[in-house]
Amino acid sequence: MTSGFEVSQKDREVTSWLWHDVIRKRLWWLAAAMTLLVIEGAMVGAVSFLIQPLFDDVLVAGNADMIWIVALAMAGALLLRGAARLGNRAVTAHMAHKARAEVQFAMVSHLLRQDQGFYHLHPPGQLLERVQGDTLALIGLLRDMLTRVGRDGASLIGLTAVALYMDWLWTLVAVIGVPLVVWPMLLLQRRVRRKSREARASAAEMSDRLDEIFHGVATIQLACTEAQERGRFGRVVARFRRASIRATIGADAVSTVIDVAAALGFAAVLVYGGLQIIEGERTVGQFMAFFTAVTLMFEPLRNLSTLSAQWQNVLASTERVHAMLHMPPRIVSPPPPHAPVPARNACGIAIRGVHFAYGREPVLRGLDLSAAAGETTAIVGPSGAGKTTVFKLLGRMIDPQAGQVLIGGQDVARMELAALRGLFSVVSQDAALFDDSIRDNILMGMEDVPADRLRAAVEAAHVAEFVDALPEGLDTRAGPRGSALSGGQRQRVAIARAILRDAPILLLDEATSALDARSEALVQAALERLARGRTTLVIAHRLSTVRNADRIVVMDAGRVVEQGTHAELLDRGAHYARLHALQFRDG
């Protein structure tokens, strides 16, 4: 018969990962924490044991000498318990937060190795929740669950020992209701696991929605769709709230089930033990010590009974962390020997029969495209034609499902990944800046760059025009996502970065799109100087910016539909000529 409570293969894998990668390396810290917890828990049993001499020897027999002994013993037990508790909190807090930080670092390191197809399927909000929200379960595991196991386990053992010492039959009567609540507890734990998973999924969806709202707030306000966004966010929050409430109620219901068992046990022992005291078979001190032990016993028992429910919560979160950490990067350096990196003057590009799709969305359909070394090749066409996907293929941000991408006659899939990506300088439409200084955003990890070379790049990209007026100059922080700078300033910083990188292949994706007319003219001239002697690919919607390209490639629906110079393509009167006529008619 299948009970439905068997441990799944996934649970075994997650538990094994927790043991090998999180817990085992902290065994000495765990030993120290458990020792302190055992001391803390054992003192509860010691206090309950001292109840018998307090009643029989002090309160009933009137032995004045014993009052000092009992008082000092109780005070010592309580002080030792407090010191052990404080020491344990310090140890477990250090251990739990360090473990979480290590796993977060490992996750971010792992995610940085994933390809662009991965990020197409996993939006930023979801990844934020994996790194920040789900890793909180490690703190719950190492701090809260450990505390319950050690402290409450030791308390339960100590109190049970006291109860058995006083009367084993009373103890048996007191726990008579426990077997009756085992099956209801198992059913509740299944529900807690299911609802915890739903809550974590809703939390990820909520992070996605917040990410979209905050990054698109200007668009939302201009479109007056605040009410719509509030409604969408409210529905996500409602799902999260419902799942969280149900998971919490399920976990708390386990404690209530224990209270049912406690009620049955208390009633039975009061009747049975009370009659024995009336008949003179037991002393008041014995009963009070036993009753104190049993009363205190049900609290750690209640805490321990919720461990399984808490473990389900931990598994619901850590299985997501485990899955993310064990999702192998699809794009890695090939095994040696690697294909040689082409010489600077031999970086011609050839794309042959390439097919690519994001999931089921075909983007490139047998693309054939070439760009001669040292020349400027412009790629134009309608949105969705696959132009930006070409750039991602060149640096192996994605890999094609079929076909080849060659640089200097070498298959990029056979090149060492860092060496391949070192061939490119990129300026894109959405300039990626970080919350560092403008200097660091230009350098992007480059070290030992002479000051005069940095200054030359800053001036060539016309960054000097605005940065020299800033109080801290190049040391001014760019803000999150470059929010302290205007769109045009961000793009000029990205251009300075490309100039300083001085790579043999230059990729320009709408590089001047965020600039005003004056800045565009200046930067366009700087980019043309930068492109000399380099293999340059330019994506542009404004055809006026690419008319001087050595060759223009027109793409549509993932294929090259025509190519040639500006004049040749206008003379043909086909795709390019129609795009040109449309733009200049609208302009």
pLDDT per position as a tens digit, 403-462 = 999 999 999 999 998 899 889 888 887 777 888 888 888 888 788 888 888 888 888 888
Cα gap 547→570, rounded to integer Å? 11
Ranges of beta strands (E only) in 326-483 are 349-358, 361-371, 376-380, 402-407, 410-411, 424-427
Specify whether 286 is located in the same domain as 247.
yes
pLDDT confidence band for 355 (50 / 70 / 90): very high
Residue 164 sits in a domain whose CATH number is 1.20.1560.10
Beta-bridge partners for 349:
371, 407
Angstrom distances, CA of residue 369 to CA of 256, 365, 401, 414, 564 = 70, 12, 16, 20, 12
Residue 587 has pLDDT above 50, yes or no: no
Specify whether 235 is located in the same domain as 355.
no
Percent of the chain with pLDDT over 70: 83
Specify whether 220 is located in the same domain as 257.
yes
| Span 314-338, average pLDDT | 84
| Span 461-485, average pLDDT | 82
CB atoms closer than 10 angstroms to residue 532: 9
Specify whether 285 is located in the same domain as 355.
no
Inter-residue contact 295 to 262 (CB < 8 Å):
no
Quickly tell me which residue has 């046990």 as its tokens.
265
Question: How many structural domains are present in the chain?
Answer: 2
Is 280 in a helix, a strand, or coil? coil
| Span 136-141, average pLDDT | 77
Specify whether 305 is located in the same domain as 379.
no
Specify whether 319 is located in the same domain as 352.
no
Residue 383 sits in a domain whose CATH number is 3.40.50.300
pLDDT score recorded for residue 234? 83
Q: What is the mean pLDDT of the chain?
A: 79
- Could you tell me how far CA 396 lies from the centroid of its own chain? 24
pLDDT score recorded for residue 3? 43
Specify whether 371 is located in the same domain as 419.
yes
Domain assignment present for residue 479? The answer is no
| Span 173-193, average pLDDT | 62
Range of the domain at 584: 346-423+536-587
355 or 316: whose pLDDT is higher?
355
CB atoms closer than 10 angstroms to residue 518: 9
Residue 308 has pLDDT above 70, yes or no: no
CB atoms closer than 10 angstroms to residue 271: 10
Is 505 in a helix, a strand, or coil? strand
Q: Could you report the per-residue pLDDT of 52-98, keeping only the tens digit for each?
A: 777 777 777 777 778 788 788 888 888 888 888 888 888 888 888 88
Token pair for 8: 């799944």
Domain assignment present for residue 259? The answer is yes
The domain boundary, picked from 262, 293, 325, lies at 325
Tally the C-alpha atoms within 13 A of residue 501's C-alpha that lie toward its C-beta.
25
Domain assignment present for residue 583? The answer is yes
Of 26-30, 159-163, 268-272, 409-413, the range with the highest mean pLDDT is: 409-413
Beta-bridge partners for 321:
none
pLDDT score recorded for residue 175? 67
Q: Where are the alpha helices (DSSP H) in 483-539?
A: 487-501, 517-531
Domain assignment present for residue 248? The answer is yes
Residue 295 has pLDDT above 60, yes or no: yes
Specify whether 304 is located in the same domain as 416.
no
Q: Could you report the per-residue pLDDT of 115-138, keeping only the tens digit for each?
A: 887 887 787 777 888 888 788 777
Domain assignment present for residue 485? The answer is no
Residue 160 has pLDDT above 50, yes or no: yes
Phi and psi torsions of 554, nearest 5°? -105, 125
Domain assignment present for residue 3? The answer is no
Residue 161 has pLDDT above 70, yes or no: yes
- Could you tell me how far CA 413 lies from the centroid of its own chain? 29
Specify whether 278 is located in the same domain as 405.
no
Percent of the chain with pLDDT over 90: 6
Domain assignment present for residue 545? The answer is yes
Residue 223 has pLDDT above 70, yes or no: no
pLDDT confidence band for 218 (50 / 70 / 90): low
Specify whether 103 is located in the same domain as 52.
yes
| Span 532-548, average pLDDT | 83
| Span 520-532, average pLDDT | 74
How would DSSP label each residue in 443-502?
HTT--S--HHHHHHHHHHTT-HHHHTTSTTGGGSB--GGGTTS-HHHHHHHHHHHHHHH-
Domain assignment present for residue 574? The answer is yes
Angstrom distances, CA of residue 368 to CA of 401, 547, 551 = 14, 22, 15
Phi and psi torsions of 527, nearest 5°? -70, -35
| Span 382-403, average pLDDT | 88
Q: Could you report the per-residue pLDDT of 8-51, keeping only the tens digit for each?
A: 677 788 888 888 888 888 888 888 888 888 888 778 777 777 77
How would DSSP label each residue in 294-330?
HHHHHHHHHHHHTHHHHHHHHHHHHHHHHHHHTS--S
pLDDT score recorded for residue 1? 36
Cα gap 23→419, rounded to integer Å? 38
Specify whether 68 is located in the same domain as 110.
yes
Specify whether 319 is located in the same domain as 385.
no
